[in-house]
């Protein structure tokens, strides 16, 4: 238990595993492609796996996340601790459900992809710690209601919505829609808002993003 705790503390402050601008089309390519070297070296566990909680896959040609989970397990010592994934500027048409299997995910960059339906955002409602979501530069910007979020879903006969909220309250998915709308002007995580709004990054994540250009 103490070994895992020590490793988690190290990974919390580690730079992201950076595969940006590598011409990657398939997630499996991460196993053979050399990541970009940063100013700070990512430490490894006794088993040789990387100790980091952040992965950058931006500016590639990825159009699906097949084998994402198995690849993360091979690369990271504690993939379940993954807190930031940057998939911006790829060719993703949907939000793959595999991203919802990481309960500690706090920041997800999906801007500059090919996501067409705002309903895709609802999949992320199960992530309890998601604080930053970027979706600008996707076709969903043309969908009615994107900028200001959608209205509350119909409540059932008990007076509570389908997601358990009170009548008239936004569902988790709708709150995420509002979150991504508020983040449309943010192109990176380097300078998070200093306000108390939903787009502010928790302090522990700042170590993972400190090497951003």
d(CA 209, CA 213) in angstroms, rounded, equals 9
Query: How does pLDDT run across 69-95, given as a tens digit for each residue?
Result: 999 999 999 999 999 999 999 999 999
Instruction: Check pLDDT > 80 for residue 190.
Output: no
Closest CA to 174 of 146, 197, 196: 146
For residue 187, tell me if it sits in a domain: no
CATH of the domain at 57: 3.80.10.10
Instruction: Check pLDDT > 50 for residue 191.
Output: no
d(CA 197, CA 9) in angstroms, rounded, equals 26
For residue 89, tell me if it sits in a domain: yes
For residue 148, tell me if it sits in a domain: yes
d(CA 90, CA 111) in angstroms, rounded, equals 9
180 — pLDDT class (breaks 50, 70, 90): low
d(CA 124, CA 64) in angstroms, rounded, equals 17
Residue carrying the six token digits 């801007």: 111
* Total number of domains in the chain: 1
For residue 182, tell me if it sits in a domain: no
d(CA 168, CA 152) in angstroms, rounded, equals 6
For residue 74, tell me if it sits in a domain: yes
The reported pLDDT for the residue numbered 38 is: 86
For residue 196, tell me if it sits in a domain: no
For residue 204, tell me if it sits in a domain: no
Contact 54, 16 (CB under 8 A): yes
Enclosing domain of residue 23: 2-156
For residue 105, tell me if it sits in a domain: yes
């Amino acid at each position: 238990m103490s070994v895992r705790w020590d490793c988690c503390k190290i990974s919390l402050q580690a730079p992201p595993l950076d595969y940006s601008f590598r011409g990657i089309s398939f997630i499996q390519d991460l196993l053979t492609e050399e990541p970009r070297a940063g100013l700070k070296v990512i430490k490894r566990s006794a088993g040789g796996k990387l100790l980091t909680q952040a992965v950058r896959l931006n500016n590639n040609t990825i159009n699906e996340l097949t084998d994402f989970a198995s690849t993360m397990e091979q690369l990271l010592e504690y993939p379940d601790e993954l807190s930031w994934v940057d998939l911006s500027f790829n060719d993703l048409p949907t939000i793959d459900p595999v991203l919802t299997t990481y309960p500690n995910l706090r920041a997800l960059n999906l801007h500059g992809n090919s996501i067409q339906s705002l309903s895709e955002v609802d999949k992320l409602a199960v992530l309890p710690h998601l604080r930053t979501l970027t979706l600008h530069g996707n076709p969903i910007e043309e969908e009615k209601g994107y900028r200001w979020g959608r209205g509350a879903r119909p409540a059932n006969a008990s007076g509570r919505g389908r997601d358990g909220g009170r009548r008239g309250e936004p569902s988790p998915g709708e709150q995420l829609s509002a979150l991504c709308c508020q983040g449309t002007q943010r192109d990176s995580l380097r300078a998070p808002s200093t306000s108390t709004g939903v787009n502010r990054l928790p302090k522990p994540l700042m170590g993972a993003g400190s090497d951003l250009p």
